[in-house]
Chains A and B, each alone.
Chain A
Amino acid sequence: MDNMIDERTRKVTRLWTQAQPKVSAFVTAVVRDFSDRDDLLQDIAVAVFESFDTYDPERPFLQWAMGVARNQFRTYLRRRQKEQAIFDSDTVKAIEAAFAQLPKREAIELDFLKACLEKLDGKGRQLCEMRYQKDLKPAAISEALQLPGTAVRKALQRIREQLRSCIELKASTERI
């Protein structure tokens, strides 16, 4: 494998590794389907690698990668038919710009998520596993746990709120 990896490859790999969490989140924001997201993210990664020669090193890599992601997203929509688009193109542009502008610390702060997840009680952990490991929607979770749908929705919202607060607290403590 070493022989295959030249300097250009090393560079694009390093830059892509840094940009990938935000590009991934952008894809999550605009594509509903879990497996479609994986496919699209792979298409974006391939496109980033293939068109890396057109990247101007004077510009931020993330913005350029977001542009590639947008183009791949358009191709995806054409392939999947337009009515599947969740958001209109102006909204997608606004979301794309927001991700491109998010400060670097945003991704770093999320590193505290693991410690915050460990603070969840058994029920919270179970809900997270059902929602995020098994990709079950609240309706399916409520059926599996024999709980009202609204209770599951509220519980998931509370868990995310709790995690957000925990991350913010840890990030501020760390900065101090």
Chain B
Amino acid sequence: MNELIDRYLDHDLSVDEQTQLAIWIKANPANAERFARAVMLHDRLQNEMNLDLVSADISRAASPQSEPIPFPQRSPFSTRRIVQIAASIVATLAMIYAISRPQNRLSDRQPRGVAFATLVHTVDALYEDDAPLELGHRFASENLRLASGFVQLQFDSGIEVTLQGPAEYELVSPERTRLHKGILTASVPPGREGFRVDTPTAEITDLGTAFGLELDASKASLVSVFSGEVAVGKPGSASSQSLKEGEALRIESARAPTTLAFDPSRFEKHWPVSSGIKRSTGAFRLIPPWRRLRFARSDNRIFVRQEGFVGALHKPLQLNISEPGTYTHKRQLTPKTLPTGQNVKSIILHYQPLEPRPRETVKRLIGEITFAQPIIGLVTQHEALMASARRFSNWSAGESRRRRELNLNGGPAGDIIELSSDRRTLRLNLASPLYSSDLIRVIVDASLPIPQLASNQ
């Protein structure tokens, strides 16, 4: 039975085993006492281990000149016990102070513990708490209440979460969060599987993927998987259901989960935010993560899609343009090799007209797109595009065709590209003679903490 109790405390019991444990606890007061003792130990272990962190902080804060006071280790009034009692008293006094104020609850905004996520992008974000959050704000365990607009958080692990207000999102730990209200999309890079979003009716565990989650008015959870796979279970249940790319599920409290038609339109407004696009002119069309780009065609649209996930380069990456400026000729290119380890995000810009046209008629498309994070550089030429193909996602963007590189010849059918001096904006003037089409891989800086963007706008 000790094993069953231990596994219960590790959240590792099946529903049947949990029932078995409950029956055992009720069967005899001695059993309940044994269970209570085990929980006491577990709870105290949690406190002790966390007190270690507190004690370490206190030690660091103490004056190096002060003499250490030797406390006998076996005394029931050990340093640790004193710290615990003090902590308990402080907590009680804080509680008394809190409830003696007109508004008797502590702010949810108050972070707890070590920070693990950063606010990297906002669009028209208004918060239910009074003070707005600065870009670059670091989140520890805390609540985020978004009255309206969008925010994008980047976890230190590379996980990206975009929230659409009104929303209430609780950051519990680097691997665990909770959505109380609103719409969320999450993108979890390989190696970070296990990231969890809980709702009142469901526990969604990511198995390496991108997914969307919405809580409707009745608190039912609507889960849509854009790529990869997630495991969906009811709260506290050991069993879960696998949900794959292109599938959607509705989970209500009192009913069995029901399959839904995959309808990602409810997440449509997320793509510009989740791709880190601050603004763009009408020529650009943001594409959700699961749409293949290489076959997308339009005479008057440049399609934009994030490739894969935020992450560190595992080998050097060759750029063709690395400096701000206007480029009309190949000789102006500013090649650079990005070193291994740099944290980046890749965004593909794809322009492919519907029909090839006669040599003498060149169609031009002009547009401007601004990113939330600085552009480190661009991959625009055939060899470099080929070398970086499938580096950021498993899908090809059609790099193998030579005609897809930027035609920088300075002539009437040539392309023109400009990277602004603040490295946020790209201005494109693309020509499409004959079968030509264009592909640009934009490499954005995803290192943290990000610089404040406000001063650059």
Contacts and interface: CB of A to CB of B under 8 A. Distances in A.
B269 interface: no
A16 B228 CA distance: 49
Contacts of B200: 80-81, 84
A138 to B, nearest CB: 5
B11 interface: yes
Interface string A135-167: 111111001000000000100110011011001
Contacts of B253: 81, 83
A56 interface: no
B12 A138 contact: yes
B97 interface: yes
A153 B47 CA distance: 21
Q: Which of A4, A17, A38, A50 has the most CB of B within 10 A?
A: A17
B193 to A, nearest CB: 8
B387 interface: no
Given A88-B22, A111-B78, A133-B52, A46 B104 contact: yes
A53 interface: no
Contacts of B172: 33-35
B173 A135 contact: yes
A143 B29 contact: no
Nearest to B55: A114
Contacts of A29: 35-36, 39
A110 interface: yes
Interface residues of A, number: 75
A114 B80 contact: yes
A50 B2 CA distance: 38
Interface in A98-119: 98-99, 101-102, 106-108, 110-115, 117
Given A98-B36, A110-B44, A111-B76, 18 more contacts: A4-B100, A12-B92, A21-B40, A25-B44, A29-B35, A29-B36, A33-B172, A35-B141, A90-B26, A110-B40, A110-B41, A111-B78, A111-B81, A113-B41, A113-B48, A160-B6, A160-B38, A160-B42
27 contacts: A13-B92, A20-B88, A21-B40, A21-B43, A25-B39, A25-B43, A28-B42, A45-B92, A46-B104, A49-B99, A50-B99, A98-B32, A98-B36, A101-B29, A102-B33, A108-B76, A110-B41, A111-B81, A113-B45, A117-B48, A117-B49, A138-B10, A143-B193, A156-B10, A160-B41, A163-B45, A167-B41
Interface of A: 1, 4-5, 9, 12-13, 16-17, 20-22, 24-26, 28-29, 32-35, 38, 42, 45-46, 49-50, 80-81, 83-84, 86-88, 90-91, 94-95, 97-99, 101-102, 106-108, 110-115, 117, 128-129, 131-140, 143, 153, 156-157, 160-161, 163-164, 167, 170, 174
